[in-house]
A and B are shown apart, each in its own frame.
Chain A
Amino acid sequence: MNQTIGQSKPTSILYLDGVSVSFDGFKALNGLSFVIEPGELRAIIGPNGAGKTTMMDIITGKTRPDEGQVFFKGEIDLTKKDEAEIASLGIGRKFQKPTVFESHTVWDNLELALNRNRGVFPTLFYRLTAEDMIRIEEILTTIRLATRRDDLAANLSHGQKQWLEIGMLLAQEPELLLVDEPVAGMTDAETAETAVLLKEIAKTRSVVVVEHDMGFIRELGVKVTCLAEGTVLAEGSIDFVSSDPKVIENYLGR
């Protein structure tokens, strides 16, 4: 076990050690290890195919690792749990391609995401309480969609769908939020607003953001991990990472 990483396990919110997974013999992740501290906002960069999305699949229970450890809050073994369980534990995930419920209104999308009992019967007899309405209103304001509440999600612009999905994650009240390429396809103005939004969100929880957009990463101004070929290439401030010769060769230089 990696000695320095091992020590930080009990206090971490997310702990990956030596995680490997292969698809048909191709190693998508190869001994990936990193630690996220509670309250941290971390950016993850890396070339296409580096394994960033696969890493999120592993953390959220979509893919099982071939080897390695994945722990949430230092003691919960995520490799033993499925998507719904992991989501209920407090890990939210935003997909690379925005995925909202297109035939539901913006409001209903948030109502469905709200952190309430998700069993069959509790949802069957669910009644919208004043408390829940206030919470949804708050989120609508945060994600700047208050005027679109009754519109179908299908009718939102690409950027608005990204925000709605972030809003759904907020409604889920996760302790750890994984965000996959949130500004892909956004205008510069939307990108800047999204950076503000994510920093705001990170005040009350841990956030891991995967992104390609270096401008956006600079705007976040946080610790950066660079992945390549399924393993960590460099970790540190954006200036430190982007001056690393391996990073330049593998990623920035291309």
Chain B
Amino acid sequence: MITSFLMKSLDRSILIVVAILLGLALLVPALNLLTAPNHPLHVPTYLVSLFGKYLTYALLALALDLVWGFCGILSLGHAAFFALGGYAMGMYLMRQIGARGSYGNPLLPDFMVFLNWKELPWFWYGFDMFWFAALMVVLVPGVLAFVFGWFAFRSRVNGVYLSIITQAMTYALLLAFFRNDMGFGGNNGLTDFKDILGFNIQADGTRAVLFAASALMLALCLILTAAIVRSKYGKVLVAVRDAESRTRFLGYRVEHIKLFAFTVSAMMAGIAGALYVPQVGIINPGEFEPGNSIEVVIWTAVGGRGTLVGPIVGAILVNGGKSIFTAAFPEFWLFALGGLFVLVTLFLPKGVVGTAGAYFARRRAERKARANEAPDNLAIEPMAAE
């Protein structure tokens, strides 16, 4: 059952992207680790981590595409799920520091010692174990999305109203995580990580493995999402997007349909956040900034919503552009981003990948039409010759 479910997802564009991701997962670490720093093909470690970061953004955009592109739920709070996954990973990394912190406390992270706390808060228990943290990475965003979605979808909050409450959700979390007494490091967040699974987090090898893990996880989630949207359930998602009440009158529980996609999407966003944190070395409340969630929407729109591959391309293009642009004209980036969004909305409503896909589909249809005409002509000519 599961294999046939997954097999359905493997159409050409998905296969190509999965193959590229697998190739990158091998090639980039190899070029970083096996070539000398002065070799022309050498990939410096800072680039490995930079591209690794883009891949986690791509995973976040993919997660958003599942709900926005396929079900029409414009979530403006997806960065919150990303940040929660990031915090879960950050808590594990904090506890790995152990007695090596500035205060040398074997149990309490530095910021707690600084706040004069005497014992570890209960919700930090278990985070010394990787498996537990990994579970929380998907569980915490998943449960939040489930509870949030349960109420929102049951009371049929739709469209702009839903978008606004997702913004409110991420904003509320931003304020909460800023507070020192929440126990997540307040303003400064969690940082100064040392090890992950016993490996030095700064080491080239660790960075390369984190990059490969990001690429593999993105490929895996792409296959999973593709399988979801190609299934009958995926068709129901699109049906809800196009004609919600029609779907209801057919007997589908629209709130359950939405809730499943929203929860799965939040879990994927959490995984993206968990891979992001060790590569950038910090997680702080700034990740809950409402603007972050809006940026994810822009990446998705630029790449092409509802195409799965598009959001991945969009996230990498826009963030690559951002890295280059902010180095040259840091103060203009937001204007450039806003302008890009307007241009894409006006001239490329299907996004880069959506537009390219439509172009190729038209070309294929034309070629097929011509191929169909040709045999007729051949059949007629001999007759005319007789």
Q: Is the CB of B246 within 8 A of A101?
A: yes
Q: Is the CB of A108 within 8 A of B253?
A: no
Cα separation A239 to B177 with both chains bound (whole Å): 74
Q: Is the CB of B243 within 8 A of A84?
A: no
Cα separation A120 to B228 with both chains bound (whole Å): 11
Q: Is the CB of A125 within 8 A of B1?
A: yes
Whether A222 sits at the interface, judged by CB under 8 Å, is: no
Q: Is the CB of A95 within 8 A of B4?
A: no
Chain B hits for A187, CB < 8 A: none
Q: Is the CB of B238 within 8 A of A103?
A: yes
Q: Is the CB of B249 within 8 A of A111?
A: no
Q: Is the CB of B248 within 8 A of A125?
A: no
Q: Assuming the A-B contacts A101-B243, A127-B4, are A118 and B253 also in contact, with contact meaning beta carbons closer than 8 angstroms in the complex?
A: yes
Q: Assuming the A-B contacts A112-B239, A119-B256, are A83 and B232 also in contact, with contact meaning beta carbons closer than 8 angstroms in the complex?
A: no
Chain B hits for A113, CB < 8 A: 250
Chain B hits for A204, CB < 8 A: none
Chain B hits for A48, CB < 8 A: none
Whether B231 sits at the interface, judged by CB under 8 Å, is: yes
Whether A42 sits at the interface, judged by CB under 8 Å, is: no
Which residues between 250 and 290 of chain B lie within 8 Å of chain A, taking CB atoms? 250-254, 256-257, 260
Cα separation A56 to B120 with both chains bound (whole Å): 60
Query: Interface residues of A toward B: which range?
Result: 20 to 34
Whether B242 sits at the interface, judged by CB under 8 Å, is: yes
Q: Is the CB of B232 within 8 A of A172?
A: no
Whether A205 sits at the interface, judged by CB under 8 Å, is: no
Among A95, A104, A125, point to the contact of B238 (Cβ < 8 A): A104
Among A99, A103, A118, A124, point to the contact of B246 (Cβ < 8 A): A99
Q: Assuming the A-B contacts A87-B249, A123-B233, are A103 and B4 also in contact, with contact meaning beta carbons closer than 8 angstroms in the complex?
A: no
Q: Is the CB of A104 within 8 A of B260?
A: no
Q: Assuming the A-B contacts A83-B245, A87-B250, are A120 and B256 also in contact, with contact meaning beta carbons closer than 8 angstroms in the complex?
A: yes
Cα separation A103 to B251 with both chains bound (whole Å): 20
Q: Is the CB of A124 within 8 A of B248?
A: no
Q: Assuming the A-B contacts A124-B231, A125-B231, are A88 and B251 also in contact, with contact meaning beta carbons closer than 8 angstroms in the complex?
A: yes
Which residues between 190 and 245 of chain B lie within 8 Å of chain A, taking CB atoms? 228, 231-233, 235-236, 238-239, 242-243, 245
Whether B131 sits at the interface, judged by CB under 8 Å, is: no
Chain A hits for B250, CB < 8 A: 87, 112-113, 118, 168, 172
Cα separation A90 to B149 with both chains bound (whole Å): 28
Chain B hits for A111, CB < 8 A: 232, 235
Whether B132 sits at the interface, judged by CB under 8 Å, is: no
Whether A225 sits at the interface, judged by CB under 8 Å, is: no
Q: Is the CB of A95 within 8 A of B254?
A: no
Chain A hits for B235, CB < 8 A: 104, 108, 111-112
Chain B hits for A168, CB < 8 A: 250
Among B236, B242, B249, B260, point to the contact of A103 (Cβ < 8 A): B242
Closest partner residue, chain A, to B246 (CB atom): A99
Chain B hits for A118, CB < 8 A: 236, 250-253
Cα separation A39 to B76 with both chains bound (whole Å): 50
Q: How near does chain A come to B265, taking the closest CB pair, in angstroms?
A: 14
Q: Provide the A149-160 mask, 1 if CB < 8 A to any CB of B, else 0.
A: 000000000000
Q: Assuming the A-B contacts A84-B248, A84-B253, A87-B248, are A120 and B239 also in contact, with contact meaning beta carbons closer than 8 angstroms in the complex?
A: no
Among A62, A87, A101, point to the contact of B251 (Cβ < 8 A): A87
Whether B5 sits at the interface, judged by CB under 8 Å, is: yes
Q: Is the CB of A83 within 8 A of B249?
A: yes
Q: How near does chain A come to B70, taking the closest CB pair, in angstroms?
A: 10
Chain B hits for A124, CB < 8 A: 5, 228, 231-233
Whether A60 sits at the interface, judged by CB under 8 Å, is: yes
Q: Is the CB of B243 within 8 A of A83?
A: no
Cα separation A172 to B231 with both chains bound (whole Å): 19
Q: Assuming the A-B contacts A87-B249, A119-B256, are A104 and B5 also in contact, with contact meaning beta carbons closer than 8 angstroms in the complex?
A: no
Q: Is the CB of B253 within 8 A of A95?
A: no
Q: Is the CB of A112 within 8 A of B232?
A: yes
Q: How near does chain A come to B193, taking the closest CB pair, in angstroms?
A: 38
Chain A hits for B246, CB < 8 A: 95, 99-101
Q: Is the CB of B232 within 8 A of A84?
A: no
Chain B hits for A101, CB < 8 A: 238-239, 242-243, 246
Among A92, A93, A99, A126, point to the contact of B232 (Cβ < 8 A): A126
Closest partner residue, chain B, to A94 (CB atom): B249
Q: How near does chain A come to B313, taking the closest CB pair, in angstroms?
A: 21
Cα separation A118 to B236 with both chains bound (whole Å): 9
Cα separation A87 to B249 with both chains bound (whole Å): 6
Cα separation A119 to B242 with both chains bound (whole Å): 19
Chain A hits for B249, CB < 8 A: 60, 83, 87, 92-93
Cα separation A102 to B238 with both chains bound (whole Å): 10
Q: Is the CB of A172 within 8 A of B251?
A: yes
Q: Is the CB of A120 within 8 A of B1?
A: no
Cα separation A103 to B246 with both chains bound (whole Å): 14
Closest partner residue, chain A, to B258 (CB atom): A120
Chain B hits for A84, CB < 8 A: 248, 251-254
Q: Is the CB of B236 within 8 A of A123?
A: yes
Cα separation A127 to B4 with both chains bound (whole Å): 9
Which residues between 12 and 68 of chain A lie within 8 Å of chain B, taking CB atoms? 60, 62
List 5 additional contacts besides A84-B253, A87-B251, A100-B246; criterion CB under 8 Å.
Answer: A87-B250, A104-B235, A112-B239, A123-B231, A124-B233
Query: Which residues of A are interface residues toward B (Cβ below 8 A)?
Result: 60, 62, 83-84, 87-88, 92-93, 95, 99-104, 108, 111-113, 118-120, 123-127, 168, 172
Can you show 17 pairs from A to B with CB atoms below 8 A apart? A83-B249, A84-B253, A87-B251, A88-B251, A93-B249, A99-B245, A100-B246, A101-B238, A108-B235, A118-B253, A120-B257, A123-B231, A123-B233, A124-B232, A125-B1, A126-B232, A126-B233
